[in-house]
Every structure is written in structure tokens, then in C-alpha cells.
A and B are shown apart, each in its own frame.
Chain A
């Protein structure tokens, strides 16, 4: 068969089964839409590949006049250049950490008034509970700093830096279970398949350091009841694959497959990459699939990462002061403390978005024991990260966020005993804190009611929070869009307001 003769059509009407070859040809056609055709024609392959290294999406849709956004350039002068998100996965109980509710102690064992709960949706875990006895924090709270913020005794290090923090006690979300809530916070949608916040920022701001991935992910887990984190949380969704989060693991090879195979040196690697790039360019010429070019870019980035990553990840040169600051665990790979230290090093080296997940905060039962361990895991290193950024003069350009995906109920889940109880999921209010990045330091924003069940003042929706984060990075959340499947998508979907009250 001649090369350009279309393959014979098999069957007819709906339900046609395409052979692999036919599928390739069909997709090839889709890939050559008008815009891409024009941009390829005018710019040529080489310059497109070179120029877009700096701003990966520069040429994507650049031709259309209604594009409100140029990828890689902020809308307005940013306050923050980078984000470190300390995600406390599993939903830490606000009642035991930051949201001081003495009334709950007074009302220990009393029934939660139905009027407070209203028509609240409960999880399957407590919906069948015959009673909802209130329970206060087992641990005491004290006021700290100039701001007089209440912090529990479980957070001795965090309590020392409250004047650098903006504690938001009035966050609320729409999802009631971990995965949708986590996905909602990270991608703006409960269903997934959308780009993660880090991918959006990578798309919006471009690389600061072209030798490191723009969006990195670090995982750790405490001993508490854990919930899964999946790579969909750091997905690039419909954005270019270069915006995907890169997971650094704790083993010998923090970035998998980065190391040259035994017996291969840098020059060989370089020659191999050059030849591979030629082959890929040929494939791109033929099929026009943009993913091919994304791959070429990834290979180049990986090549540069081979020297940059070991330098960044080398913790052995950190002075004793830093080890004392973060706690000795910071030199044990895979711990939260080590990830915090790594996050600082990555951020300092220009990584736009460092996403940490610390698992183990899902205290449905055995809360007093587990939360104490969880808090101990994260308290010193979280506070250390803020202090460390500050002493390097980096806190004003780095936004640090600490918090989970939702809150926990003021009533107990399961049996309430003298020294043990649990709390169920509670999307109506939870506490997070932010530091640096042009956020007002030393304030406590928002308030929940006496029972810590509903928000009494200044509610902050997840989309408001996301809009605020984007705003601090110089991005207008309504204009940071990407057209996909015929509509423009944003991180904040169709809502979200910048919380101007907390901006410095």
C-alpha cells in the first residue's frame, strides 16, 4: 500500500473498531489544527523548541487575540515567587491544635444541638450514630505572641512563631471525604483530571531555575491513621506535561531513573540525547503530537537535573545549627523534617511549588494518642521552615501554607471514654495557616461558633483560598485560564474571591 493511501474502512456507522494504525492517523489529523499549523509554519520547529524552554506554553494559542493570559508572565507584580505547601493529609483536628473551644470542655458528653448541625451531611461512619456527644480538647491552649493567638500545647514550636503566621480558622470546603476534598483543594475540582495548583503555577509563572522541575512533590507519613495520596494530585491535567509534579522519593535515587546507567559517562549521555532528539523531531514532523516535544524537553531537563539534583539534595553539608533548627530527624530521609529541609533547599533554588504531604492525620478514633504523635512529627520542622526562610531573607517572597483538606467534628465518633475519643470528617470549618509571601503576619482570621461547628465570621471557601494564593503570585485567578475541550478552565472553576483582608 502506498504511504499516503488511507487504510480501507472496516465496517460502517457507529461501533467501528479502529486498528492501531488508523487511530494514529486519525490523531495525527487532530493534532494538526489550524493554530498549531500556523505557529509551526511561522516559527519553525527549532525555535519553538528553544524558545519554549523558558516559557513552555508560549506558543500555545499565542495567536488568538482573546487569550487573556501569556503563560509564564504574571499579570501583575507578584508578592511571592514560590510556594511551599505543607499538606497535612487526613485532616488534622482543629479543636486540638488551633481552634480553642473551652465551651466544648464544659459541655463534655452533652448532645450536639440538632439546630447547630442543621441538615449537615454526615459520613457513613457517624451517620448511624444514635447520639452526637460533644467533646473538648484533651490538651490545653495558651495565647502566644503579639497577636495573642491561641495555640495548643501540642505545638510548642509553632506557638513561638505565631507572629509570623496568618492563622485562618474559617476555611470550609464542599467535600466530606478525603480523596474528593484533597482533590478539590489541589485542583479546584472534586473529580480530578484537572491540573494541580502547582501545575497551574508552573504554567502561569514559568521556570525560575531551568535545571530543576518547577513543581516537586515530597511524601512522608506519621504513625496516625493514614489516607492515600495519589499521583493524580500532582497531575498536569490538560496542561503541557512539563507542568506535572515530580515526586522526589526518599531512597538512594530521589528522582527515579535520573542516574546514568553503570558505565555511561556525561558525554555519551549527551550524544545519546542529541541523537534521540533528532529521532523525536522526525516523529514530531510526521505526527505533530505536542507530547513528543514535551518529552524532548523532559529529557533535556533530566540531563541538567543530573548535576543540579545531587547538589540540592545533599544534606550532609547542612550546619549543625540547621539540624538543631529542624530537629535531628531532618537528616533521616523520608521524614517530614527532612522533607521540610529539602523543601527549603528546593525553593531556595527556584522551584516554584514544593508540595509536601504528611499522612496520618485521620483520627476517627484514638485521637489523643495519635494526634500528639502527629503534631510532634510536624511541629518543629514546620516552624523551622518559616524561621529558616526568614533568616535567609526569603520569607517575603515565599508563601508557606500549612493545613489539611477539611476539619473534624466537635462531637465524638465512636465511644467517648475518659481519656479517649475520635472525631469524624467536618467540611464546615477547619484551620490552616499561611506565612510569608505578602500575607499579613501575626493575625488570626475568621472565627467559628462556640461549639466549633459552624463559621461565625469571615468564611474562606477553598476557591477563595486558591484565588488568594494565585493573587500573591501575581496571577489573576479569573485570567489564568486554559482552553480545553471547548471551554476555558481555571483553578478556581467559576468562583473564588481574593481574601484581601489577609494581604499585607
Chain B
């Protein structure tokens, strides 16, 4: 049975050889019927059988003449049958492949290589099968035959894979990425680095100067512009009317669709990029970053490029010993690496009190690594610069506000790498610096603000040393005069019991403060100058201005000082305060803390007690009777927000709580429309008399005037302090 099957298979193999020869000879005349096309398309599936069978068989054939193998009966039979099976499946695969090659889209050198290596496998395998038992077939022949077969298998497999997956499928992830990484985003040229790679991958295998399919080459700008058999490839700016895009957009089944069916197709992104390139007038020179940032082409293509990393400064010297750096670091001397993996160090020294020249000398072990040194505001002297000059790789040196003069600067000329030198605030002079500047090799910036060098001399330096940037700066005497800020009060409180020594101050030295107490505006000539001896003995409104030569006088500052002689021993609030305007309850009125405008500040909520729907009524008690002549309430008036003075204030007094008499009333003036917000004291004068109990009643405005947006509503009354004198 077995023998019969094998014999039949051998005959089929013989027939297959002739069939394949026939197909090859009459290739151009063969028409493949439709039903056989499916058979042909099984080629990519079936080809795996001969590969496996033949690889195994050829391996065994290679070692067949080893004594152990040649005497093994099973080895011989198994190998013979395996070879037969391999050759048979190879033959079938070849037939399928030949049928498939008749379909549309299979042309080109790769196909030829694939075809002939495949056919080679079949014939070589058949020959080995028939010749392997002849006398001339010895070990060398067997080995050579096996080797040739394996090489052919690899070749056919490779070319076949290239046909289906495209050129360089295997190594593309490695080669293409490294190529893309090599071009940073900033340097990427739209054509060279975006469009050309697409053409090279998908088009150039057919459209190159050697093959010239359709008389078109897509290898260089000139050929691309020239076009092919069907004319110019594109009309710049009009992708939809361009031949290139038309061919790409044809249905894949169309004969003229590009790339042809069976070849690797363009991805959607590639099609879009090509269209956008043509739309952008098919420019060959433009860089990607020259396109506007919102440009679609730029946005799509940019993803594939990595922006260039900023070039790191490179240093030739080796890194300092870490332990040394740690040892030299202390609270007043920081030594920081410039960056990760950089040998360069930046050194900063701080604190005048702890500085001494040996703080620089100690850095000798890391003198090569220091590239930046900050000594600003330290008592560094000229002699110390000799130590600085040892830091041979120093690039940046900050000597602002040090005690150096021109003398030591010469030492620094040996610093060949020095780029930036800050000398602001030093005593350096033109005649010190000018002769030395030529000896600095690499100097780029020198800051000279606030030194002994005038602006005119800096101008001269700029002309002489064009490669150096000289930084001058702001000089007060050259600028327009500006207005002084108003004087300030230094007294801890503006409320006093008996007398108060007036203390006014101004933050700027040498300012003269002039003031008035009569409500007139102070002027720079006639008004009295503030001196420390001014004493107030009654509530006073001080108006003050600051003056200084070279400045405009300040605006007027008004300070209200209040005398508050009697502080009650206890205070009771008789009617409720507003829920949101409680301030400090009864303590609010005699705590000597005044409120301010600006409802957002804490001082507002803490100091203003308010009522709206009932009177403000306070009962104050004095254990010893006091003589009262005036009661004043400090109120806020902010008409816009409905904060008004009281419409009526009543003062009641007497010797007992139960027996109070009305001592006086006052009806304050109401604000006019659009009047500015103001803080003022509403005073009620009474006939001087002793009282033990006093009731103060203030009634909020019950109807806002007609001009007010909230007309007819009740106004808010805010009081922060009460003064009893």
C-alpha cells in the first residue's frame, strides 16, 4: 500500500516538472481561467509547507552520509519520503505562484527574483530526489545540493516577503527611526524629510530612472516636476486637479490606481500629506517650521520629528570629587552642579560677616570646575581676585557691590573663558577698565551701572569694543522728577486722652514735612515744618505734604486726631446691632481702633458696628461722675452704597440709670448726590455737666433721598468709635 502511494507521488512529481516547464515556456500565452485564480491565490498560504519540509529535509540530507545516519534504516526511509513531499509541495506552490503572477499588479525585478528562485527550489529539490541514490552522489554533492536549496529557500522567501510587505519591511523600524531622529524638527525640510520618504517607500521601486514605469521617475525634484507619459504630475496649489492625486484616489481595482494593487498602499495620512504638499504649491525648499504653526501639513508632519534638544555646553575637564564638593559646601557657600552629568560647578558665597579671603582659597581643589562665581555684596578686595584668577574655566563672575577697585582687575584678564563680568556698584573707573578690556579674550557682557564710569564713558567703551555689551542703567539725576508719596503718621493711635506728641514720618531721607491744622492746604513756603515738638491737646485735623529738592511735592495727606477723655467703665448695647455688623459688640466704641473703607479688608468687619432697622442705643456707665461737654460719633459716609450719617443723635445723661434727661441733640448734614465717601465725626455739644450714666442714641436715615437708587429704603449707619470729652 505504502509503496503504491509513494510510486504514485513520484509520478506526479515527474509530471509536475513537465507542467512547470510548459508554463514557463508558454508563459505569455497562458490565460488563467477565473476559477483557477483562487487556486493561484492559495500561493501565500501553501508556500509555508515546502519551506518547512525542505528545510528539514535538506538539513537531514546534509548529514546523511555520517555513519550513524547512513546505517539507520528509519533515517533513510523518512528522509526519502520527506524530500518527495517537499519537492511535490514546492511544485504545487510554483504552479500556484505562476497563476497568481498573471493577475494585475505583479511586475518588477523583485517578482523576477522571487519567481526564478522559487522555480530553482523546485527543480533542485526534484534533481536531488532523483539523483540521491546514484553512485556519483556522495557526501560533498549532498552537502552542496542541500546548501544551494537552503540559500534558494531564503532568497525566494525574502523576495516574496518584499512583494507583499514592501521594501525593507524587516529593518524599517530601525533604519527609519534613526533617520528621523537624525533630523530635528527645526531642520526638517518639507520635501526632503516628509514627502520624499513617502515616495521612496511607496513609489520609487517602479518610478526610478532605471525602471521608469510610465516614463516617470520620482527620485529627484527635476524629474518630479517633469512628470511622465501622461503629462505633468501636478498643478501647484490644486491637488484635486493634479494627476498625482487623481491616480492615488482612483478605486484600487482600476488599472491606473497607484500604487498598483498588490503593492503596499499609501496610508490615509500619507495621502493627506501629499495633497497638502501639492496644495502648498509643491515647494521643495521650505522647512517645516517655516509653515505657520496652525498649518495642517506642519501639524501632521511635526509628530514624526523630535525638536532639537538645546545644545548642552560641553566641558573638557573632569568632574570634581563629590566628597570634596560636599566638604567645601557650608551654610554660606553653596556649590551646585550646573546640570545632571555636567562637571561644571556654580559657586555662590553669602554673608558679609563670615566672608574672608580664604573662603576663595579653599576652593583650590575645584578650581578647574568652577564656571560661575557669585561674590556680590561681599567685602571682596583687589588681592582676592588673584584667587579668582585661578578658576581657569570661569565664565561668569559677579562682583557687584564688592570693594574692588581697578587695581585687581588685571588679574582677571588671564581668564580666557570669561564671558560675563558684573561690576555694578563698585568703585571701578574708566581709566582702570579701558586699558584692560582688550586683553579679555571672550568677554561678552560687562555691567557697569552705579560705578565711577559715566554714561559718556560707557558710550566710548561701546564704540571701542563693539563685541562687548556694556550694561549701564538708571540714573536718578537724568530722569524726570517724580512725585513724592505723602507723609505718614507714626503715632500708634490717632486717639489720645490728654495730649499727644504729633509724630509724622516719611520713608525717604531728607524729606521736609509741612502741615496745617486749620483745614487749609499746606504749601512749601509758608506752612510750618513738622518738628518733633508739636503737641496736640484737642481733636485736630492735620493736613500734611512732603517736599524734597529734585522731587515734586507730595499730594496732601489728612490725619484726623481725636481726643477721647473719658472712657466709660461699662457699655451696654440696648438695641440689637445688625447681624453682619456686630464688630466687637459694645467694646467696639471705645477700643481706640478705627475702621477703614474697603469692605474686603478685615479692619472693616472688625471695627464698624452697624444698624439699619433700629436705633443705635448705647448706655455707658462711669463709676465716678465725669464732666461731659461733647460727645462725638465717628461714622462712615458712603452714599453710593447707602451708608449714611445718622439723621438724629440724642445724648441722655443723669446720675442714675433710671433717671436720664435729654442733654442735647444734633441733626447732621446729609450728603449730596454724587458726594465722595468720607469718614467723619458727628459731634453733639452739650452744656458741661457731671454725669454717671449716659445714653447715646443715633437714628439711621429712615428714607433714602429721591436721587438715590435705593430711594425710600432705610440707610445703613456705621459707627466705629465714640469720643466723650
Contacts and interface: CB of A to CB of B under 8 A. Distances in A.
B340 A74 contact: yes
B690 to A, nearest CB: 42
B600 interface: yes
A440 to B, nearest CB: 14
Given A308-B351, A348-B376, A391-B450, A209 B334 contact: yes
B340 A70 contact: yes
Contacts of B398: 393
B267 interface: no
A350 B340 contact: no
A324 B312 contact: no
Interface in B85-130: none
B334 A54 contact: yes
B162 interface: no
Interface stretch (A115-123, A124-132, A141-149, A327-335): A327-335
A146 to B, nearest CB: 15
Given A54-B334, A390-B471, A391-B449, A332 B488 contact: yes
With most chain B CB atoms within 10 A of its CB, the pick from A315, A388, A394, A458 is: A394
B447 A207 contact: no
A307 interface: yes
Contact of A391 (B353, B473, B600): B473
Contact of B473 (A209, A304, A387): A387
A500 interface: yes
Contacts of B337: 73
Given A331-B507, A457-B294, A392 B336 contact: no
With most chain B CB atoms within 10 A of its CB, the pick from A74, A76, A390 is: A76
Contact of B476 (A315, A320, A501): A320
A307 B331 contact: no
Interface stretch (B249-257, B479-487, B536-544, B694-702): B479-487
B339 A328 contact: no
A70 B337 CA distance: 12
A415 to B, nearest CB: 12
Given A78-B339, A226-B600, A325-B476, A349 B485 contact: no
SS of B interface (majority)? loop
B450 A457 contact: no
A226 B601 CA distance: 10
A383 to B, nearest CB: 10
Given A325-B474, A393-B400, A206 B336 contact: yes
Given A211-B332, A393-B400, A328 B348 contact: no
Interface string B411-429: 0000000001110110000
A208 interface: yes
Interface residues of B, number: 57
B350 interface: yes
Interface in B249-288: none
Interface in A39-89: 51, 54, 70, 72-78
A262 interface: no
Contact of A209 (B307, B340, B350): B350
A77 B293 contact: no
Contacts of A28: none
A51 B530 CA distance: 57
A419 to B, nearest CB: 14
Nearest to B423: A393
A391 B334 contact: no
B339 A393 contact: no
Contacts, number: 134
B420 A393 contact: yes
Contacts of B313: 77
B310 interface: yes
Interface string B346-357: 001011110000
Contact of A328 (B340, B474, B507): B507
Nearest to B421: A393
A210 interface: yes
A218 B635 CA distance: 33
Interface string A411-453: 0000000000000000000000000000000000000000000
Contacts of A387: 473-474
Interface string A243-275: 000000000000000000000000000000000
Given A324-B482, A350-B348, A391-B474, A77 B400 contact: no
B424 A392 contact: yes
A181 to B, nearest CB: 19
Nearest to A392: B424
A73 B339 contact: yes
B293 A458 contact: yes
B400 A392 contact: yes
Given A54-B329, A78-B338, A320-B476, 7 more contacts: A76-B339, A77-B313, A211-B331, A307-B353, A323-B476, A390-B471, A392-B376
Interface of A: 51, 54, 70, 72-78, 206-211, 223, 226, 304, 307-308, 311, 315, 319-321, 323-325, 327-329, 331-332, 348-350, 384, 387-388, 390-394, 396, 457-458, 474, 500-501, 503
Interface of B: 292-294, 307, 309-310, 312-313, 326, 329, 331-332, 334, 336-340, 342, 344, 348, 350-353, 374, 376-377, 398, 400, 420-422, 424-425, 445, 447, 449-450, 471-476, 479, 482-485, 488, 507-509, 551, 598, 600
28 contacts: A51-B326, A73-B337, A75-B339, A76-B310, A207-B334, A208-B334, A208-B348, A223-B598, A311-B352, A315-B507, A320-B476, A320-B509, A321-B475, A328-B485, A328-B508, A328-B551, A332-B485, A348-B377, A350-B334, A350-B350, A388-B473, A388-B474, A392-B425, A392-B447, A392-B449, A393-B424, A393-B471, A503-B310
